[in-house]
Structure 1
């Protein structure tokens, strides 16, 4: 744990110690998951970041992308940013969705995916990140040729935004797996 003169820089808050504005989103997380993940407890130091991430990730869950495709976006960001918390959590989510072990291993190891359609979304997410959104026309065409839409392209950007926020904050706070 990072500290300044013996004091923890990022506290793992409880409902009692959290800033008042973080308590409602923390309670909602507990209600949804049955517990308070350590990462959420640390993000509670910033009510705005916590609320923003929870709202944006919930909105991402409502997009038109299929659940496994959404998880491919999340895992692409998580492995790229080396967020062990997100990799562990979303490995569990992929398993709950019935994703094959091979797909999970490929994502965790940042290898090309055997499933061509899912590989297209992984490559598109990497290209959005690599070019800061200035994806070339041929890359867009390749993405669309796998049945994805313009809406899906923007939803990938949304997922990248939500999980860039999460992965960077989890690493900064030294959130535990």
Structure 2
């Protein structure tokens, strides 16, 4: 059994620099997610993740597109917390159940445009950004822009940060996300 070395901080126990971010998260979600409680050990990481996540939310990629990027990263990095959280978000967005299942199973998507986004995200990850001209043309050929390509990089950076932190801190799945539980 793994050693639980990270504290589930509350706003009272967290380092002072993390408290405002934690309180904002509680106001936004109605509860304090375990990943946030554990990331609070490093106010810089917590604030960095929340700011980058907020920046990604304002990207020109559509909400469903952003969720495809996030779920692609979350399943690739086998982050049970992120997959559950973003399955819930996809459900709230009214996403097609087949799309959600395919993303959770790391399968090609029926929607050609969204599948091009999923493929491009994986290509950028696999090539450490050195996507071929062919891969970039295929992505752009589905109506995405050069700006969107860079937004994919933003999403990758943001959600790689959270998946790695969730693994390192051994963040458990919060009860409100239990209906969306996932395992690799």
**Which residue does 1:156 correspond to in 2?**
152
Q: Does 1:37 align with 2:52?
A: no
Give structure 1 regions of 4+ aligned residues with deviation exceeding 3 angstroms: none
**3-state DSSP of counterpart to 1:175:** coil
1:26-65 paired onto structure 2 within 5 Å: 26-65=22-61
What is the alpha-carbon distance in structure 2 between the residues aligned to residue 80 and residue 140 of structure 1? 20
Q: Does 1:124 align with 2:120?
A: yes
1:7-156 paired onto structure 2 within 5 Å: 8-156=4-152
**Pairwise CA RMSD of aligned residues?**
0.8
The offset of 1:2, in angstroms, is 3.6
TM-score by length of 1: 0.96
The offset of 1:9, in angstroms, is 1.1
Paired residues, what number?
173
Query: Structure 2: 5+ residue runs without aligned partners?
Result: 174-184
What is the alpha-carbon distance in structure 2 between the residues aligned to residue 39 and residue 131 of structure 1? 28
**3-state DSSP of counterpart to 2:108:** coil
What is the alpha-carbon distance in structure 2 between the residues aligned to residue 146 and residue 51 of structure 1? 34
What is the alpha-carbon distance in structure 2 between the residues aligned to residue 85 and residue 112 of structure 1? 22
What is the alpha-carbon distance in structure 2 between the residues aligned to residue 16 and residue 115 of structure 1? 46
Query: Structure 1: 5+ residue runs without aligned partners?
Result: none
